[in-house]
Structure formats: C-alpha cells, structure tokens
Amino acid sequence: MYISDMFGTKKTLWSFEIFPPKPTADIDGIKRTVGALADLRPDYVSVTCSAGGSGNSRTIEIAQMLRDDFGVEPLAHLTCINSTKEDISASLEKLSAAGIDNVLALRGDRIAGAAPSPDFSHADELVRYIRGKGYAFDIAGACYPEGHPESADPVEDINNLKRKVEAGVTHLNSQLFYDNDDFFRFSERLALAGITVPVQAGIMPLVKKSTVDRIVGLTGAKIPNKISRMISRFYDDPDSLMEAGIAYATDQIVDLISAGVRGIHLYVMNNSTVARRITENVSSMLASVNR
C-alpha cells in the first residue's frame, strides 16, 4: 500500500524508523525487534541504509521481513551520494522485484574517503531519475525543520525542498528536532512556498548517553535549555535518563498531535521498549484524532 494513500484515510500517521544489522550479523536480533514493533501496529516502518557507506545490502531484506512476516508496510531508504545511475537502477530493480511499494529518496550523508556520485548531487535529482525510470514507487523525501545544515539560509532550504516535491515526492519525513516551535515555523514557511504534501514530524527520544553523544553531534540539532538541563542532571544515571527522555518525547508528541500534525515518525534506534512506552503514552490520543 502506498503511504501517500494512508494520509487519505487517517489524520495522523504513526511510524517508526529502524536500521538494518551489519551484513555479517545474525538476523534473529532484528527479527525480534521487528516483531515487537509490529505488535504496536504502526502505519509503516522505514528501514535505513546501512551505516558507514555499506549501502543498502540488507535494507530490502528487512523491508521484505516487515511486509511478509509481520504484515507491516515498509519504507525502504535509498541514497545516491556515492552511487552511479547504474547502481541506482540495480537497486530499483531489486526493490521492484521484491514488491516494495514505498521508497525514501535521499542524497545521504557525506562519507570521508568515499567517491562522490558522478550522476547525483541532490535528492531531487534522484527523485526525477526514479520517476523517469517508470517504476510505480511512492516516493517520500526528507526535510529539516531547522534548515538543512548545508543550506545558506531558510529561503534556499525551502527552494531546494520545493524542487524535491516538484520532482515527485508525495510526502516528507522531518529530521529530528527538540523544539516544536521550530517545526511550527517550518510548517508556516512550507505553506507560504505552496508546499502542501503531508509532513511527518521526526522525533528521536534522548534516552541513552550514546544517543546524546552521537546523534545530536551528527545532526547538529538545537538543544533547548529544558533538554540541556535534563542531560546534565541525568547523563550518568541511565534509568533516570531513560525515563526523562521518554517523558520529553511524549510531551513533544502530545503538543504536535494537538496542533494537527499529519504524522509522527519515531526514530527508535531499534529500541522496541522505548517505542512501546511512547506508543502506550499517546495511543488513546492517536485513536481519538483518527476516529
């Protein structure tokens, strides 16, 4: 089922993002995680490409597992920053043969020492290429409420995003953010630019020291004072940091749903316990808005 069609049947979607195991890792661990997430009945689950430039060697495998073993619609990530047109064509053929309907088209993160693509510089070029090949994929894209870190200013960022939508993106998932006002201001800029595709708010709970150190450092997300105090107080107290991070994420989500956001995309870092706790916290609200 196309994710774009889901927006026609629900006011607010609920989805998760997971990452595949390393190529040599056993499949049982991720299968248990996928099963636990499937029990929470998300509208779909997105599967990232493997980290560190190893590509999408297991993305399709996990996407098929979601659909065939657990009945959950997958969204397969596809990056182009280090790929040729031939590489992308091969990936598209594999995705199509696997029966995957939904693709998240991304430029991808720059990787030190990796040769840049001779064919693709930006995600809108990838979207146009996919559309031009004639495949019947539903294509999602990414957006940045605080602005893409490589954009000169918010105007350039929105113009680049508009090109991506005009190329054929049907909905957008946002990068993580911790100040909802940034998302609301971003939504206003989208409206002014005439960008009307549904946007899901990306939420990543800060529940572990490793998340604080690695993810926030990589994304450059702004850390509000409220979160800064939380991290400072509970950084070396794992149980309390877990509880505080879940509480903060829940508060963000309640505010976003109350404001009419079209969806929440929860970056769960393969932690089904965190996904379950937050889902339970907001399930009645989701049920209410989707009646």
Dump pLDDT digits (tens) for 145-164: 999 888 888 899 999 999 99
Dump pLDDT digits (tens) for 184-224: 999 999 999 999 999 999 999 999 887 777 776 666 678 89
Tell how far CA 135 is from the center of its chain.
Answer: 22
What are the angstrom distances between the C-alpha of 55 and each of 106, 131, 266, 269?
12, 21, 22, 18
Given a contact cutoff of 8 angstroms between Cβ atoms, the answer to whether 92 and 126 are in contact is no
Report the pLDDT value the prediction gives residue 2, as an integer from 0 to 100: 97
Given a contact cutoff of 8 angstroms between Cβ atoms, the answer to whether 78 and 91 are in contact is yes
Dist CA 208 CA 239 (whole Å) = 9
Share of the chain above pLDDT 90, in %: 78
Given a contact cutoff of 8 angstroms between Cβ atoms, the answer to whether 248 and 203 are in contact is no
Report the pLDDT value the prediction gives residue 152, as an integer from 0 to 100: 82
Environment class of 27 (CB within 10 Å of its CB; exposed 0-12, middle 13-18, buried 19+): middle
Q: What single string gives the DSSP state of each residue in 194-245?
A: T--S-EEEEE----SHHIIIIIHHHH-----HHHHHHHHHHTT-HHHHHHHH
Q: What single string gives the DSSP state of each residue in 70-137?
A: H---EEEEEE-TT--HHHHHHHHHHHHHTT--EEEEE-----TTPPPPSS-SSHHHHHHHHHHHT---
Residue 54 pLDDT exceeds 60:
no
Q: Which of 28-42, 108-122, 143-157, 227-241 has the highest mean pLDDT?
A: 28-42
Catalytic residue positions, numbered = 17
Dump pLDDT digits (tens) for 91-122: 999 999 999 999 999 998 887 778 888 889 99
| Helix intervals (H) in 134-207 | 154-167, 180-192
Dist CA 160 CA 286 (whole Å) = 32
Given a contact cutoff of 8 angstroms between Cβ atoms, the answer to whether 16 and 45 are in contact is yes
Report the pLDDT value the prediction gives residue 189, as an integer from 0 to 100: 96
